Amino acid sequence: MAPTPPEPAETVLTRSPSLAPLLARGAVLSPFRRPGPAAAHPRTRLVLEGLRPDPARLAAYARVCGFPAGADTLPVTYPHVLGFPLAMRLMSARDFPLPLLGLVHTSIGITRHRATPSTASYDLTVHVDGLAPHRRGTEAAVVTHLRAGDDLVWESRSTYLARHRTAHTEERARTEEDPELPAVEEWQLPGDLGRRYGAASGDRNPIHLHPLTARLFGFPRAIAHGMWTVARCLAAHGVPDAAEVRADFRAPVLLPGTVTYAADAGRFALRGGRGRVHLTGAVTSL
């Protein structure tokens, strides 16, 4: 029987880390990474206590994602924004084995156990939950917990893929597409959407900001943040106070561009031209 991995050690932070230097550090260290599912990874759980969402940033986030202005409850995706600087600190650290440059957000699962008031104080914890083989490389799982007092009110699990050569063949490419959902509405996405979302969320990855910086990473134009696409879909779909959300990021959305939001019952999708699927997801009430 394999030994049970040790519980992550806690490191308590006094403030949320600044994203810009973390992105820079991760970029510098990326060429020296040696990704693989058996690689060592950070065993630290970062903790940030007594966090109160900033009303101005929250309002800007709601505007750019289409959530109702002045709502009493945090948008269901907003705790990811609060926890992202902690996740970036872990993923840019020297002991994180996957290169930050080129790392792809492939999925997110969210469970909101109850309403999360926008004026409340919360404790955040973030840790790397492990590495797993993927047919295109290695995936890391990052877990975020949001607590109000002793109660776990929101949690998420995100997966991030580092592409590299691999002999892993157990996971097969998708051979069947999900049944096509009926179109609900078409969205025209402006060229500055990445800059607007970056200003609201703090995620100013250069692939989202300008065509010139996006081309450095192989994209013909800037691409929309994956977390913007799922947030915009959930703003249109609606999410109960207690719910599970699952979203899989399938293909980047180029900016400017036109996408179609589709939904039926608890399922949703974002499609582009020629039937290309950018995002699929589902909402389940608890």
pLDDT digits (tens, 9 = 90+) for 204-249: 888 888 889 888 878 899 999 999 999 999 999 999 999 999 999 9
- Of 128, 80, 96, nearest to 22 by C-alpha is 96
pLDDT digits (tens, 9 = 90+) for 99-134: 988 888 999 999 999 999 999 999 999 999 999 999
- What pLDDT score was predicted for residue 264? 96
C-alpha 25/C-alpha 82 separation (Å) is 20
C-alpha 34/C-alpha 199 separation (Å) is 32
pLDDT digits (tens, 9 = 90+) for 22-69: 988 998 999 888 888 888 888 999 999 999 999 999 999 999 999 998
Matching residue, tokens 């069947």: 176
Query: Could you tell me the pTM of the whole model?
Result: 0.91
pLDDT digits (tens, 9 = 90+) for 239-258: 999 999 999 999 999 999 99
The answer to whether the Cα torsion of 171, 176, 177, 180 is positive or negative is negative
pLDDT over 90, % of the chain: 72
